[in-house]
Amino acid sequence: MGPQPNFMTLASQLPLFLPTVPPPPCEKSGVVYTRPWAVDLVLDLAGYAPEADLVAAVAVEPAVGQGSFLGPMAERFAASCRRLGRPWMDGASAVIAYEIDPVAAQMARDVTVNRLVASGVPHRNAVELTQAWVRVGDYLVDAPRLPRADYVVGNPPYVRLEEIGAEALAYYRNAYPTMRGRADLYIAFYEAALRQLAAGGVCAFLCADRWMSNQYGTELRRLITKNYAVEVVVGMHRADAFEDDVAAYPAVTVLRRSVQEHAIVASLDPGDPNTPGLGIVPVLRGLRDGRRTEPVPGLRAARIDGWLEGADPWPCTSPERVALLRRLEAEFLPLESDATGTRVGIGVASGCDRVFITQDAESVEASRLLPLALVGDTLTGAVAWSGHYLVNPWDATGLVSLGRFPRLEAYFERHAAEIKRRHVALRRPEAWYRTIDRVDMALTARPKLYLPDMRAVIHPVLDHGDTYPHHNLYFVTSTTWDMEVLGGLLLSAVGQFFVEVYGVRMRGGWLRFQAQYLRRIRVPRPADLTPAQAMELRAAFRARDVARATSVARAIYRIGHEIPVG
């Protein structure tokens, strides 16, 4: 870790809470307070309850604000301490609470003293406990030196990159490597909290859910799936968990430093806005333990065997989808697999399509022109080649020598200024006329499926071996699959299900596919299909009949009609 930043510099760079009442709606400033029912839900799911020994345990609230969590924690602590018959001051190290804003911290102290006194703690002890518990400072700076925690609970601040000063940002990124790309500050809070956990310790946060499926959450997901267990995720897209309107959707995540067993994914859509969290904890516990429980209005939940792998997105907005995904991942093969000789790739990027793509068949030697399929050529569902060529500087052995192709040489020399400006040419000046990607000369002649990127629905199209894909087209080749049968499977609502859960949905509803996720689409082995199923899929693909493809796919994947796949 680098030198510590000056605390006051950090504090002045971070937006501070202004003590107006009610608090400002401020997802922007990272200060959003939590409603009591949501606090109780988080504490209950964490097991921070009077039945536990909350005197010996260490509980951390890393960003207390005005004490929405700390107040109820104080009550639960007091009840536990009384039940155990321990002296109050034995709990002086039982809570570590941080707040960067001294004004908010003072309000949190007042709340805590009041709650302790109301719970029967003598005033003097209540003040002493609170003094010992609440610290004004930057949790992210201090966390690596704090004692191991049995509980880390709270609602960390949401602060976008642009609102964090350069010095603080550099410090946080260095200390918390999962805070990558456009990651919000709460990512660093997750990492700090997880690292602070003792063996068996639990981190329960109410927080924006974006990191579970977006790009900037990738490294955090990887950290969690590698070292921690996901116990519970409760998405709350419509439950009113915060005191202010916030643009982010919240979710409760319960993560433990232990081995992954079952996980519960739930989504809460409260019928009664006053008691949204009421009664759901016993239901979730029952589900976890495999007991039948009464349904709670507005709650959908599923038990998952284990958890998703690596840094894959967590489609937690729908419990049914997570459960289905997890089953399909366990039971079927990834699309790209040596076992089926199937490969997924992406077409060629040139870095300067204006020069490298032409419709002029006379521009260079005929052998240097590669028929290129563009996204627009695939829209009808068959490849309708628009007559574009790649001006191809590659052959089977590598980059061609320009001396062998005078017209190609003249063409590239004419455009030299433009193509030499490309990053790839600057990096490798001797290969200044290369495209960014190398062309795989054997690919053109192979039958393959094209999957155009950035569409609302998956759209597999068959190329009989006539064209080479441009870079917005993914392609699938296989030594064992009949391309039309595989095309039928991918065309189905099950294929769509995979790209929806793995893909990133962009503004306007487009799905950004990525080769790494297309590779993970699960498929059976070709030999596991009955001849009738293969025939149906082929016919559905030829007719571009999604419903027909879906009904075969449901049988193959054993997906009942009750599960929303499309």
Name which of 68 and 342 has its Cβ closer to ligand SAM: 68
Name which of 37 and 332 has its Cβ closer to ligand SAM: 37
Kindly state whether residue 187 participates in binding ligand SAM, applying the rule CB under 6 A: no
Instruction: Give the angle subtended at the CA of 236 by the CAs of 230 and 237, to the nearest 5°.
Output: 125
Q: Contact letters (x/-) for ligand SAM, 45-84, by CB under 6 A? A: ------------------xxx--xx---------------
Kindly state whether residue 546 participates in binding ligand SAM, applying the rule CB under 6 A: no
Look at residues 259, 33, 64, 49 and name the one whose alpha carbon lies nearest to residue 150.
Answer: 49
Name which of 107 and 348 has its Cβ closer to ligand SAM: 107
* Assigned token pair, 92: 């002086």
Pick the piece of the chain touching ligand SAM (CB under 6 A) from 97-105, 292-300, 373-381, 481-489: 97-105
Kindly state whether residue 208 participates in binding ligand SAM, applying the rule CB under 6 A: no
Kindly state whether residue 97 participates in binding ligand SAM, applying the rule CB under 6 A: no
Kindly state whether residue 32 participates in binding ligand SAM, applying the rule CB under 6 A: yes
Distance (Å, whole) CA 559 – CA 221: 27
Which residue in 112, 125, 130, 155 binds ligand SAM (CB under 6 A)?
Answer: 155
Which residue in 48, 77, 88, 98 binds ligand SAM (CB under 6 A)?
Answer: 98
Kindly state whether residue 104 participates in binding ligand SAM, applying the rule CB under 6 A: yes
Pick the piece of the chain touching ligand SAM (CB under 6 A) from 27-35, 260-268, 382-390, 542-550: 27-35
Q: Which residue is nearest to ligand SAM (CB)?
A: 65
Pick the piece of the chain touching ligand SAM (CB under 6 A) from 46-54, 135-143, 195-203, 473-481: 135-143
Name which of 168 and 369 has its Cβ closer to ligand SAM: 168
Strand partners, 60: 96, 152
Distance (Å, whole) CA 248 – CA 418: 43
DSSP code string of 229-289: EEEEEEE-SSS--BSS--SSPEEEEEEESS---EEEEEEE--SSTTSTTTTHHHHHHHHHT
Pick the piece of the chain touching ligand SAM (CB under 6 A) from 28-36, 197-205, 301-309, 504-512: 28-36
Name which of 253 and 444 has its Cβ closer to ligand SAM: 253
Q: What is the DSSP letter of 506?
A: P
C-beta atoms surrounding 40 within 10 Å: 17
Q: Which of residues 364-393 bind ligand SAM (CB under 6 A)?
A: none
Residue 176 CB, shortest distance to ligand SAM, in Å, is 11
Distance (Å, whole) CA 54 – CA 48: 7
Kindly state whether residue 154 participates in binding ligand SAM, applying the rule CB under 6 A: yes
Kindly state whether residue 287 participates in binding ligand SAM, applying the rule CB under 6 A: no
Name which of 100 and 461 has its Cβ closer to ligand SAM: 100
Residues sharing a CB contact under 8 Å with residue 257, sequence separation 6 or more, in sequence order: 194, 197, 198, 199, 200, 201, 202, 227, 228, 229
Residue 56 CB, shortest distance to ligand SAM, in Å, is 24
DSSP code string of 424-471: HHHH-GGGTT--SSPP-TTTTTS-EEEEESSBSS---EEE-S--EEBT
Residue 73 CB, shortest distance to ligand SAM, in Å, is 10
Residue 251 CB, shortest distance to ligand SAM, in Å, is 14
Residue 63 CB, shortest distance to ligand SAM, in Å, is 3
Say how many residues make up the chain: 566
Distance (Å, whole) CA 393 – CA 390: 9
Residue 31 CB, shortest distance to ligand SAM, in Å, is 4
Distance (Å, whole) CA 65 – CA 77: 19
For 287, list phi and psi in degrees, rounded to 5.
Answer: -60, -45
Distance (Å, whole) CA 482 – CA 504: 29
How many residues line the site for ligand SAM (CB under 6 A)? Answer: 23
Residues sharing a CB contact under 8 Å with residue 415, sequence separation 6 or more, in sequence order: 352, 355
Helices first, then strands: H and E counts in the chain = 20, 23
Q: What is the DSSP letter of 309?
A: -
Kindly state whether residue 179 participates in binding ligand SAM, applying the rule CB under 6 A: no
Which residue in 30, 270, 469, 495 binds ligand SAM (CB under 6 A)?
Answer: 30
DSSP code string of 112-159: HHHHHHHTT--HHHHHHHHHHHEEES-HHHHGGGSPPEEEEEE-----
Name which of 64 and 486 has its Cβ closer to ligand SAM: 64
Instruction: Give the angle subtended at the CA of 545 by the CAs of 541 and 549, to the nearest 5°.
Output: 70
Pick the piece of the chain touching ligand SAM (CB under 6 A) from 25-33, 218-226, 289-297, 337-345: 25-33
Which residue in 59, 81, 116, 140 binds ligand SAM (CB under 6 A)?
Answer: 140
Task: Report the b/e string of 68-99 with b at 16+ CB within 10 A.
Answer: bbbbbbbbbbbbbbeeeebebeebeebbbbbb
Kindly state whether residue 100 participates in binding ligand SAM, applying the rule CB under 6 A: yes
Kindly state whether residue 133 participates in binding ligand SAM, applying the rule CB under 6 A: no
Name which of 24 and 297 has its Cβ closer to ligand SAM: 24
Q: Are 470 and 372 in contact (CB under 8 A)?
A: yes
Residue 102 CB, shortest distance to ligand SAM, in Å, is 10
Kindly state whether residue 31 participates in binding ligand SAM, applying the rule CB under 6 A: yes
DSSP H or E stretch at residue 173: helix 166-175
Residue 295 CB, shortest distance to ligand SAM, in Å, is 29
Q: Are 248 and 185 in contact (CB under 8 A)?
A: no
Kindly state whether residue 394 participates in binding ligand SAM, applying the rule CB under 6 A: no
Q: Which of residues 429-448 bind ligand SAM (CB under 6 A)?
A: none
Residues engaged in binding ligand SAM (CB under 6 A): 14, 17, 30-34, 63-65, 68-69, 98-101, 104, 138-140, 154-155, 157
